[in-house]
Amino acid sequence: MTAEDLDLLTQFTGFLSLIGTVFVVFFIILILIKARQYQDKVLYAFALFLVGLNSPWYPSAFCFVYWLITKEIFIYEVYMILGTIGIPVVTLSWFYIYTNLIAQKYKKKILMLLGIIFLLYYILIFYFIFIPGFPKDVLIGILNNPFDSEYRGIILVAIVFSFVVSDPTIFHFCYVSLKESETKRTRWNGIFFMISTILYAIGALIDGFIILDIIPLIIVRTIILLSGIVFYLGLIMPNWFKKLLRIENE
């Protein structure tokens, strides 16, 4: 496949996915450094949470790099596996964080139940993708272009399920941080987590379900990238940012 085979919008979609993935990897590395410094399992889980959260854009980003090098694109099976394997990761890592910080009593039961559900998800995904005879365009999804997919069937159910079970706990986490914390820093944590969640939900839903032209695509991907920056600031709070918020002594 040559460069002439891909229009400008298709190439730009892949490029934006790559840029976004590079930024997320940068944030993940910073969080892992802090996690190692403090030996904090929750921070490790936050890093894993970000790995899963960005997974829908991995196939587009990696396929774009692969295309730049080889002028070939990923086959359907590789693209779909890369884009969907992270859904359980983001949900399980978030509930590990949530139950560790707020709901220790229910930690094992919740994680075990979610683990069983997502094990079934993995079995069905691999089965329908690799076993011939199933309507993959209905059960899994389609490729709108080499760097953009439209998920359907089981994957769509899994995405909706993850949003439905995770969002209330994220907002509860933010509420607890805002209302029950005794420190200014933790209250700011809640504010930034709330803003980040809203930005990501808006950007991801638009990006996932609406085919966009170049300008709207830039705006939506910028919203998603901004959600990651806000998330990082709320979680790590670099010294310069704490000084800006006047909480450097906490």
Q: Where are the domains of the chain?
A: 3-244
pLDDT confidence of residue 115? 94
pTM: 0.83
Residue-wise pLDDT for 100-122, tens only, equals: 988 888 999 999 999 999 999 99
pLDDT at position 215 over 80: no
Interval 21-40 mean pLDDT: 88
Percent with pLDDT over 70 in the chain: 93
pLDDT at position 96 over 90: yes
Interval 38-47 mean pLDDT: 89
Residue-wise pLDDT for 126-157, tens only, equals: 999 888 888 888 889 888 888 888 888 898 89
SS (H, E, C) the chain: CCHHHCCHHHHHHHHHHHHHHHHHHHHHHHHHHHHHHHCCHHHHHHHHHHHHHCHHHHHHHHHHHHHHHHCCCCCHHHHHHHHHCCHHHHHHHHHHHHHHHCCHHHHHHHHHHHHHHHHHHHHHHHHHHHCCCCCHHHHCEEEEECCEEEECHHHHHHHHHHHHHHHHHHHHHHHHHHHCCCCHHHHHHHHHHHHHHHHHHHHHHHHHHCCCCHHHHHHHHHHHHHHHHHHHHHHHCCHHHHHHCCCCCC
pLDDT confidence of residue 180? 66
Fold of 3-244: Rhopdopsin 7-helix transmembrane proteins (1.20.1070)
pLDDT confidence of residue 250? 53
pLDDT at position 93 over 90: yes
